[in-house]
């Protein structure tokens, strides 16, 4: 039996014996659409579209004129205007559209310049448009992936198809809630200090937004492209269709069973639904193992490295030639971030690459040992470094620190002026991953740092009142050094002048006294209280008042 036939047999056995948990009922969101269609744009195009839409009697039409007629001398205008004269037609100055299937709203400028919600004018206080056909010169929702129920047409060639497609979006529809969001793990902001924005910069549906210091995901706008989850360095956003743990468990079992059945050089191909439709999976070489997912970008760097650690000789991510620019940008950025990890682990750069269906197949790489026989557990970052460390040990990886691309979530922090640090712990207060942390108890205040946990969000650098913290991007490939709990600064504590208890770093107390030296409220006894612990400070204020109650009237 040839090698390819052996691999074909092994692939068939692995796919047959490895079950996926994809049949579990997902958490869903529900859309309700009653066929209230808004047609907006130049009046001639809007009325011409209305004539076509009248062939779908279930649709309830509203016409909104936002531009001058495109072709005012067209020969069919009289007939078109006559056929649509009975339809409600409104003027839409400066239109602004928002919403999603079943919940669209259009705000326009009224006669006095006031904002008017047209959906309420047409359907009452709780009214909404269900569907929108935008015929304007410029799309009202200029998104790479607009919400369901919205179509923009700059020409009339596809008018019938667009109206027919919108007419089918009537009824009740369920869609998976693709993501889980953990704001406790998010590095977006803390105490008003801005940090990571990776997910906000990548969403092609405008489903992510910042709201009161937190990231929010609108499940009705989200279409599950997955680039935000792949880019999130902390795992605060996690893909749930399926979850990363379920996906990686299946991946490990698939590779193990492929090898048990006699297969060699396993080449993992990650492909979304659009990509799977662009090639014949059965025609792939026998050593190619297909991992079908909803979207190619939903599988991130931790799974790519995990597959290599589980014995895959190569990982390819299929990308459709008509893939959106944002998704392509996200994948290219993740590949750039994977490059130093591969280099540091001693693995060839081409071990992870993008493949476009219809182009030549990438060459087969050398057989790779199984470096991590069991699926790693823990957070996204823990799984990532578990796979990296296993590959590093198996391939004799680099020992020196590695350079990383700008904006990479790997690196350290440095004190550019250790004497200037007062150990105020402002950096600790904003650190989202506890990479920076204070010592627990003891008479010597300490600022400590663990590099593996640092995502280079920059909040510590911005929060430092003394401006002595600097980010140091890079990758420490040696696990012991990367996980080490390093001391950045320590000093003797100031002890309370009344009870002797250590209560704050001496340099912090000294700096506070210097700042308040000329302040009228901190003179004499009040200045002495700065040298007391929190308990003695309170006693020092209230003991005289207890001894002389009438003095309270003077306070």
Taking only the tens of pLDDT, the chain with its 555 residues reads 788 899 999 999 999 999 887 656 788 999 999 999 999 999 999 999 999 999 999 999 999 999 999 888 888 888 999 999 999 999 999 999 999 999 999 999 999 999 999 999 999 999 999 999 999 999 999 999 999 999 999 988 899 999 999 999 999 999 999 999 999 999 999 989 999 999 998 999 999 999 988 999 999 999 999 999 999 999 999 999 888 889 999 999 999 999 999 999 999 999 999 999 999 999 999 999 999 999 999 999 999 999 999 999 999 999 999 999 999 999 999 999 999 999 999 999 999 999 999 999 999 999 999 999 999 999 999 999 999 999 999 999 999 999 999 999 999 999 999 888 988 899 999 999 999 999 865 568 899 999 999 999 999 999 999 999 999 999 999 999 999 999 999 988 888 999 988 888 888 888 889 889 888 888 888 889 999 999 999 999 888 888 787 766 665
pLDDT value for 554: 64
Q: Are 65 and 42 in contact (CB under 8 A)?
A: yes
Q: Are 316 and 362 in contact (CB under 8 A)?
A: yes
Q: Tokens representing 540?
A: 């020092």
The alpha-helical segments, DSSP class H, found in 244-376 are 244-260, 273-276, 301-309, 325-345
Query: d(Cα 234, Cα 198) in Å, to the nearest integer?
Result: 11
Q: pTM of the full predicted structure?
A: 0.88
Query: d(Cα 509, Cα 422) in Å, to the nearest integer?
Result: 8
> Residue 268's beta-bridge partner residues?
289, 315
Query: d(Cα 146, Cα 223) in Å, to the nearest integer?
Result: 9
| Sign of the torsion angle spanned by Cα atoms 323, 324, 327, 329 | positive
Phi-psi region of 185 (alpha: psi -120 to 50; beta: other; left: phi over 0): alpha
Question: Residues 6 or more apart from 28 whose CB is under 8 A from it?
Answer: 174, 175, 176, 177
Query: d(Cα 234, Cα 215) in Å, to the nearest integer?
Result: 13
Q: Are 109 and 94 in contact (CB under 8 A)?
A: yes
Query: d(Cα 512, Cα 376) in Å, to the nearest integer?
Result: 48
Strand pairing of 502-505 and 493-495?
A: antiparallel
pLDDT value for 524: 84
Nearest to 324 by CA among 134, 98, 143, 135: 143
Q: Tokens representing 351?
A: 């071990």
Q: Are 287 and 361 in contact (CB under 8 A)?
A: no
Largest CA distance in the chain: 104
Strands of the 436-438 sheet, one edge to the other: 436-438, 446-450, 485-490
pLDDT value for 441: 58
φ, ψ at 139 (rounded to 5°): -65, 135
CA quadruple 69, 75, 79, 82: dihedral, nearest 10: 40
Domains of the chain: 3-22+242-395 (no CATH), 28-175 (3.50.50.60), 177-239 (3.30.70.20), 411-490 (3.30.70.3270), 495-554 (no CATH)
The Cβ-side half-sphere exposure at 517, using a 13 Å CA radius, reads 6
HEC states along 468-521?
CEEEEECECCCHHHHHCEEEEEECCEEECCCCCCEEEEHHHHHHHHHHCCCCCC
Q: Are 466 and 460 in contact (CB under 8 A)?
A: no
The Cβ-side half-sphere exposure at 549, using a 13 Å CA radius, reads 0
Nearest to 62 by CA among 111, 122, 116: 122
φ, ψ at 458 (rounded to 5°): 85, 0
């Amino acid at each position: 039996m040839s090698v390819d036939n052996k691999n074909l047999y092994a692939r068939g056995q692995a796919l047959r014996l490895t079950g996926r948990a994809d049949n579990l009922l997902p958490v869903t969101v529900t859309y309700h659409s009653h066929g209230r269609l808004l047609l907006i744009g130049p009046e001639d195009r809007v009325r011409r579209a209305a004539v076509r839409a009248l062939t779908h009697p279930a649709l309830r039409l509203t016409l909104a004129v936002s531009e001058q007629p495109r072709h005012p001398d067209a020969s069919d205008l009289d007939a078109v205007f006559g056929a649509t004269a009975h339809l409600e037609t409104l003027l839409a100055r400066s239109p602004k559209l928002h919403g999603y299937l079943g919940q669209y709203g259009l705000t326009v400028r009224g006669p006095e310049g006031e904002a008017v919600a047209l959906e309420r004018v047409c359907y009452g206080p709780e009214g909404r448009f269900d569907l929108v056909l935008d015929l304007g010169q410029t799309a009202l929702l200029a998104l790479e992936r607009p919400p369901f129920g919205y179509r923009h047409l700059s020409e009339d060639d596809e008018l019938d198809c667009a109206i027919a497609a919108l007419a089918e979006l009537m009824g009740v529809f369920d869609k998976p809630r693709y993501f889980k969001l953990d704001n406790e793990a998010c590095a977006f902001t803390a105490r008003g200090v801005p940090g990571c924005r990776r997910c906000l910069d990548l969403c092609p549906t405008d489903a992510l937004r910042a709201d009161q210091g937190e990231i929010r995901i609108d499940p009705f706008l989200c279409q599950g492209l997955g680039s935000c989850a792949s880019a999130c360095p902390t795992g605060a956003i996690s893909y749930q269709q399926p979850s990363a743990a379920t996906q990686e468990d299946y991946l490990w079992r698939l590779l193990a069973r492929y090898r048990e059945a006699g297969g060699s050089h396993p080449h993992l191909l990650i492909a979304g639904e659009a990509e799977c439709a662009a090639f014949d999976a059965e025609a792939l070489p026998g050593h190619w193992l297909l991992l079908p997912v909803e979207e190619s970008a939903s599988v991130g760097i931790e799974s790519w490295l995990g597959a290599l650690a589980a014995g895959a000789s190569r990982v390819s991510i299929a990308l459709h030639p008509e893939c959106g620019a944002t998704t392509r940008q996200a994948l290219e950025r993740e590949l750039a971030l994977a490059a130093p990890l591969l280099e540091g682990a001693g693995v060839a750069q081409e071990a992870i690459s993008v493949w476009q269906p219809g182009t030549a197949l990438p060459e087969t790489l050398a057989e790779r040992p199984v470096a991590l026989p069991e699926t790693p557990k823990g957070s996204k970052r823990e799984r990532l470094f578990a796979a990296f460390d296993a590959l590093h040990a198996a391939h004799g990886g680099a020992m020196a620190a590695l350079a990383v691309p700008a904006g990479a979530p790997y690196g350290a922090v440095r004190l550019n002026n250790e004497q200037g640090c007062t150990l105020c712990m402002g950096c600790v207060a904003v650190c989202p991953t506890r990479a920076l942390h204070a010592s627990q108890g003891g008479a010597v205040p300490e600022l400590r740092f663990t590099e593996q946990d640092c995502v280079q969000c920059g909040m510590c650098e911005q929060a430092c009142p003394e401006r002595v913290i600097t980010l140091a991007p890079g990758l420490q490939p040696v696990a012991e050094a990367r996980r080490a709990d390093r001391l950045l600064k320590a000093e003797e504590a100031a002890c309370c002048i009344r009870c002797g208890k250590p209560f704050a770093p001496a340099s912090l107390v000294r700096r506070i006294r210097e700042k308040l030296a000329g302040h009228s409220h901190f003179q004499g006894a009040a200045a002495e209280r700065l040298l007391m612990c929190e308990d003695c400070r309170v006693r020092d204020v209230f003991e005289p008042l207890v001894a002389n109650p009438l003095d309270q009237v003077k306070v």
